[in-house]
C-alpha cells in the first residue's frame, strides 16, 4: 500500500516537472506556436495569455478526465474542441468585462486558444487516459511551462524593443530600441535562437553525464 | 467598377500585406511541420485554400443570418468551430467519394486542417474587421488561402535547399526554420504601404 502511494507521488512529481522542462510545450514539443509568436511583444499580454491558457487547460482537462469513459473514439476530437470552445468563451467574456484594453490588445488570439494544439494534445494524451488528480497536475504543469516560455520570450523582446520590462524602464538612456523586435521578424528570430539555445543545453547534458 | 477595385485591393492586401503566416502568425504549426517538401506543401496549401474559402463564407452567412439577428453572439466561437469541423468532414467525404485520387494526395492533411489556426483565425478576422459584404468575405477567405499556399511553398523551396547546407548542430530543424521564416517575414514587410 505504501509503495503504491509512493509511486503515485512520484508520478505526480514527474508530471509536474515534465511540463516545465522535459516536455515543455513551447521549447521541446513545439506546440501552440501561433500565440507564442503573436502575443509576446510585451510581458503583460504574454502573461495574460498564459493565465488564460492555464485556465482553459485546467477546466478542459478536468471535464475531459471526468467524461473519459463516455467518449466515443470517432467523436472524441469534436467533444474536446467543443469543451475547449466553451471555456475559451468564458475566458474571453471575462477579459472583455474586466480588462477591456488587454482584450483589445490580444484581439483574436484569445478565441484562437480553441485551436491551440497544446490543449487538444493534453486532452488526448493525458486527460482522456488518466484520473482527475493526474489530469489536474498535468494541466497546471503544462500551463506553467507554456506561461514561463511565453514570459521569457516576451521579456527578451520587450527589453530590446522598448528598453523596458513590464513597462518600467530598465535600460540606460544610451540604449537605442530595436524596433524590429516588436515586428513579426523579432518574434520568429528570437524564438529560433531560444530553441537553438535549448537544443544546445540538452545536447550537452548527456555528454557531461557520460564523462 | 468601384466594388471591383475594393475587391482587388482586399485580395492583394490579404495575400501580400496581411499575409496570415508572416504577419498574423496563423497556421505556423503545419507551416513548420509539412513544409519539408514542395509537393506536399502545395497539396496542403490547396486543401487549406479550399476549406478556408468554404469556412469563411459559411461562418459569414451564419453570423449575419442567424447569430446577429437572434442575439446569439456569445455562442460565436462554439458555432464557428462546429462549422469548420463540419466543413472539413464534408470536404473529406465528398473528395473520398468523387475524387479518390485527389483524396489520396491530400492524405492526412484534411483532418489536420480542423485544428489549423489559419482557418478559425481568418473567420475571426473577418468578424473583427467588420466586413459586411458577402462578396468581400469570400474574396478575403480565398485570398487568405492563396497567401498561405504562397508562404508554405516558398518555405518548402528554401527548406529543400537547406538540407544541403551546413547548419550548426544546435540550429538544425525548427530553429533554422524559424529564423528563415523571420527573414521571409522581413521581406514581406516590404509590401506594407503598397496600398494606402
> Domain residue spans in chain A?
27-201
Kindly report the pTM of this predicted structure.
0.83
Of A199-208, B89-98, B147-156, the one with minimum mean pLDDT is A199-208
Measure the CA–CA gap between A59 and B194, rounded to whole angstroms: 45
- Rounded-to-integer distance, Cα A86 and Cα A71, Å: 18
Specify the 3-state DSSP secondary structure of A168.
strand
Q: Which of A88, A192, A200 sits opposite B77 (nearest CB)?
A: A88
ipTM, two decimals, is: 0.80
Q: Which residue has the cell 527578451?
A: A156
Query: Between B24, B28, B182, which is nearest A189 by CB?
Result: B182
DSSP for A35-73, written as a single string:
HHHHSTTSHHHHHHHHHHHHHHHHHHHHHHHHTTTT--G
- List beta partners, residue A168: A165
Q: A103-136 as b/e, with b when 16 or more CB fall inside 10 Å?
A: bebbbbbbbbbbbbbbbbbbbeebbbebeeebbb
CB contact at 8 A, B144 and B21: no
d(CA B174, CA A168): 33
Q: What is the CA radius of gyration of chain A?
A: 19
- Overall average pLDDT of the B43-56 stretch: 85
pLDDT above 80: residue B103: no
Q: What is the pLDDT of residues A139-187, one digit of tens each?
A: 888 888 889 888 888 888 888 888 777 777 777 777 777 777 788 888 8
Q: What is the mean pLDDT of chain A?
A: 81
Phi-psi region of B109 (alpha: psi -120 to 50; beta: other; left: phi over 0): alpha
- Is residue A147 within 8 Å of B147, Cβ to Cβ? no
CB pair distance less than 8 Å for B182 and A93: no
- Whether A186 contacts chain B with CB within 8 A: yes
Q: How far is B115 from chain A (nearest CA, A)?
A: 5
- C-alpha to C-alpha distance for B9 and B140, rounded to whole angstroms: 10
pLDDT band at A59 (very low <50, low <70, confident <90, very high): very high
Longest dimension (CA), chain B: 59
CB–CB contact A193 B175 (8 Å): yes
pLDDT at A54: 92
* DSSP label of B34: S
Do A188 and B32 make contact, defined as CB atoms within 8 angstroms? no
* Cα(B175)–Cα(B160) distance, integer angstroms: 16
Angle at B39 between CA B33 and CA B40, to 5 degrees: 30
Q: Do B124 and A112 touch (CB under 8 A)?
A: yes
The shortest C-alpha distance from B149 to chain A (Å) reads 17
Its sign, for the CA torsion A31, A26, A36, B183, is negative
User: How far does the CA of residue A35 sit from the closest CA of chain B (Å)?
Assistant: 8
Do residues B123 and B82 touch, judged by C-beta distance below 8 A?
no
- Whole-number pLDDT of residue A210: 45
CA distance B176 to B170: 9
Q: How many CB atoms lie within 10 A of CB B196?
A: 4
Amino acid at each position: 500500500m505504501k509503495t503504491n502511494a509512493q509511486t503515485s507521488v512520484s508520478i505526480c512529481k514527474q508530471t509536474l516537472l515534465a511540463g516545465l522542462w522535459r516536455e515543455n510545450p513551447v521549447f521541446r514539443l513545439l506546440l501552440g506556436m501561433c500565440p507564442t509568436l503573436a502575443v509576446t511583444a510585451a510581458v503583460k499580454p504574454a502573461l495574460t495569455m498564459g493565465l488564460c491558457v492555464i485556465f482553459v487547460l485546467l477546466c478542459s482537462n478536468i471535464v475531459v478526465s471526468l467524461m473519459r469513459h463516455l467518449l466515443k473514439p470517432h467523436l472524441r476530437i469534436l467533444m474536446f474542441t467543443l469543451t475547449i470552445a466553451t471555456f475559451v468563451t468564458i475566458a474571453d467574456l471575462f477579459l472583455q468585462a474586466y480588462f477591456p484594453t488587454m482584450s483589445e490588445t490580444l484581439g483574436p488570439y484569445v478565441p484562437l486558444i480553441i485551436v491551440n494544439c497544446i490543449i487538444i494534445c493534453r486532452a488526448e494524451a493525458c486527460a482522456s487516459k488518466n484520473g482527475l488528480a493526474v489530469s489536474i497536475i498535468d494541466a497546471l504543469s503544462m500551463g506553467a511551462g507554456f506561461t514561463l516560455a511565453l514570459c521569457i520570450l516576451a521579456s527578451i523582446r520587450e527589453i530590446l524593443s522598448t528598453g523596458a520590462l513590464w513597462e518600467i524602464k530598465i535600460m540606460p538612456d544610451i540604449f537605442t530600441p530595436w524596433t524590429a523586435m516588436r515586428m513579426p521578424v523579432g518574434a520568429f528570430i528570437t524564438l529560433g535562437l531560444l530553441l537553438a539555445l535549448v537544443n544546445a543545453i540538452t545536447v550537452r547534458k548527456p555528454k557531461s553525464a557520460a564523462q | 467598377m468601384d466594388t471591383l477595385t475594393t475587391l482587388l485591393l482586399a485580395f492583394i492586401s490579404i495575400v501580400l500585406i496581411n499575409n496570415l503566416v508572416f504577419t498574423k502568425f496563423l497556421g505556423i504549426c503545419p507551416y513548420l511541420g509539412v513544409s519539408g517538401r514542395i509537393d506536399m506543401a502545395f497539396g496542403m496549401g490547396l486543401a487549406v485554400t479550399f476549406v478556408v474559402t468554404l469556412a469563411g463564407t459559411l461562418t459569414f452567412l451564419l453570423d449575419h443570418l442567424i447569430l446577429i439577428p437572434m442575439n446569439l453572439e456569445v455562442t460565436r466561437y462554439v458555432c464557428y468551430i462546429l462549422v469548420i469541423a463540419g466543413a472539413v468532414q464534408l470536404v473529406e467525404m465528398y473528395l473520398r467519394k468523387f475524387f479518390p485520387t485527389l483524396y489520396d494526395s491530400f492524405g492526412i492533411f484534411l483532418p489536420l486542417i480542423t485544428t489549423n489556426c489559419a482557418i478559425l483565425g481568418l473567420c475571426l478576422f473577418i468578424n473583427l474587421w467588420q466586413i459586411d459584404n458577402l462578396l468581400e468575405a469570400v474574396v478575403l477567405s480565398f485570398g487568405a488561402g492563396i497567401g498561405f499556399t504562397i508562404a508554405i511553398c516558398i518555405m518548402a523551396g528554401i527548406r529543400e535547399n537547406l538540407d544541403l547546407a551546413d547548419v550548426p548542430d544546435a540550429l538544425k530543424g525548427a530553429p533554422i526554420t524559424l529564423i528563415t521564416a523571420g527573414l521571409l517575414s522581413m521581406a514581406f514587410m516590404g509590401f506594407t504601404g503598397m496600398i494606402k
